[in-house]
Structure 1
Amino acid sequence: MPQIEEAQPKYLQIAHYIRDQILRGDLRPGDEVPSERQLAADWKVSRPTAARSLEALSHQGLVEKRQGSGTYVRSLEVNRRARELYGRARQAGKIYTPGEYAVITSAGWLEAPDHVAEALGLVKDRRAVHRRRVTNNQDGPITLSTSWFAPDIGQRAPKLLEPERIQEGALLYVENMTGRQGSYAEDRMCAREATGEEAEDLQLAAGSAVLIVHHVVFDLQDRPLEFAEATYPPHRWAFEQGYPLT
């Protein structure tokens, strides 16, 4: 019979906590991360355990140790995916980090494509609310994404229909307006050539490769709450949680 997995080693729990802070944008490139001494005190672990957590982050390419100074976040081109965006929204009340901003290119009611209708469980009424956005930073566009919501959510969350940014992010806004809490999410990923529209929005050459993520959020009753399709340009890394091999 399968066995229940034990908790991750303490050093990995610490490393993943700091890694999530980096990916959310709470710790930014050039910021100093807590020292071995500070981590040992905060987490109530030994100094060798704290040191191993910083080594794990270094091996992952997220931080660098500067002799006689400390450990600092490296400059990385990272795709901030839904998990990090939601985490930042819940922690800071804002979905984007300083220097990032979204342009809503369209919003309102549309006939849902087949894959969206299937993900949201739409049968008779295929109309759904969509919000299409291009996220930018100081270097230009970094993500193209479209969120879709079922008709009942669109009726209870009117800001979804407006081409204005929602500071806390669409999902947190929907939770507040409907009382339905996001519980877990599932992602499907593939790579393909960008369409003409995607290449234009992301300022890519025609035929460039892009990463596509289909993301579905489920509520506490396992009902789909949001479907989102995100398109990421090449040469930016996406990070996943570490996992055991056995």
Structure 2
Amino acid sequence: MPQIEEAQPKYLQIAHHIRDQILRGDLRPGEEVPSERQLASDWKVSRPTAARSLEALSNQGLVEKRQGSGTYVRSLEVNRRARELYGRARQTGKIYTPGEYAVITSAGWIEAPDHVAAALGLAGGRPAVHRQRVTNDRNGPITLSTSWFAPDVGQRAPRLLESERIKEGTLRYVEGMTGRQGSYAEDRVCARLSTEEEAAALRLEPGSAVLLVRHVVFDLQDRPLEFAEATYPPNRWAFEQDYPLA
């Protein structure tokens, strides 16, 4: 069981731990979260502190309390960010939650667009490995994403060129094949109108608003390991970390 840290209030540490489980998909909609009594015992805190952590989750819209029954995960339409996907892969060995699956629509060598070359530190006009996928759930497409890798990574990780799914997640596979470990990531996010390709892949009306995330993973030597672009449809929540104002 995770240990209490002094950097944050105890109730927030507990709430953030449960929130991460919800966003990773480890706790599914309709499932019961640990009770006040269980949280107090597991985290070695008082019952009021445990109750406050559940209240914080309720205020975030993640859980609902049912009188005389318990506290349950609410039904949510969530855009899972790379942070949640990586966390799930490292915890469970699988990147997707039950009911989610990816279809690889394109994979192989291609000349890197200028913004991809810049992100990976490649000279203009150089080829790179790309891997495009559409992630789906029971309601249809939820994300269109493309991962890009430098030539040396592509040569050492041949499954990137195949159209078969990599169940443990692309990054974990690349780490294993190259010996380079992802250390941190940077995301840039913007909203814009969809391209024709994006609208078709996500089953949207042409010109619909979408969320675009450009994501770079750096290794322990601060070298770019993966550049990815993910396009998300509208009307789904994307959750971010809380932060202090003082």
TM-score norm. by structure 2 comes to: 0.97
Q: Which residue of 2 aligns with 1:9?
A: 9
Deviations 1:130-176 (A, max 9, x none): 00000000000000000001100000000000011000010000001
Aligned partner of 2:127: which letter?
Answer: R
Distance in 2 between residues matched to 1:27 and 1:58, nearest whole Å: 15
1:238 counterpart SS class: coil
Structure 1 position 33, deviation (Å): 0.2
1:146 counterpart SS class: strand
Q: Which residue of 2 aligns with 1:110?
A: 110
Which structure 1 residue ranges, 4+ long, deviate > 3 Å from structure 2?
A: none
RMSD in angstroms over aligned alpha carbons?
Answer: 0.9
1:111-190 alignment runs, 5 A limit:
111-123=111-123, 126-190=126-190
1:23-38 alignment runs, 5 A limit:
23-38=23-38
% of aligned pairs identical?
85
User: Is residue 112–residue 125 contact of structure 2 (8 Å, CA) maintained in 1?
Assistant: no
Structure 1 position 123, deviation (Å): 1.8
Distance in 2 between residues matched to 1:39 and 1:185, nearest whole Å: 31
List gaps (5 residues or longer) in structure 1. Answer: 1-5
Distance in 1 between residues matched to 2:149 and 2:13, nearest whole Å: 34
Distance in 2 between residues matched to 1:10 and 1:220, nearest whole Å: 30
Aligned partner of 1:37: which letter?
Answer: R
Structure 1 position 16, deviation (Å): 0.6
Aligned partner of 1:191: which letter?
Answer: A
Aligned partner of 1:56: which letter?
Answer: A
Distance in 1 between residues matched to 2:243 and 2:162, nearest whole Å: 40
Distance in 2 between residues matched to 1:124 and 1:27, nearest whole Å: 44
Distance in 2 between residues matched to 1:182 and 1:227, nearest whole Å: 12
- Equivalent pairs counted in the alignment come to 241
Structure 1 position 125, deviation (Å): 6.4
Change (3 A) 1:70 1:167: same
Q: Which residue of 1 aligns with 2:92?
A: 92
1:179-218 alignment runs, 5 A limit:
179-218=179-218
The alignment status of 1:18 with 2:24, answered yes or no, reads: no
Distance in 2 between residues matched to 1:207 and 1:95, nearest whole Å: 30
Structure 1 position 55, deviation (Å): 0.4
Deviations 1:176-235 (A, max 9, x none): 111111010000000000001100000000110000000000011111010000000000
Deviations 1:65-104 (A, max 9, x none): 0000000000000001111111111111111111000000
Aligned partner of 2:47: which letter?
Answer: R
Distance in 2 between residues matched to 1:42 and 1:228, nearest whole Å: 38
Structure 1 position 124, deviation (Å): 5.9
List gaps (5 residues or longer) in structure 2. Answer: 1-5
2:55 counterpart SS class: helix
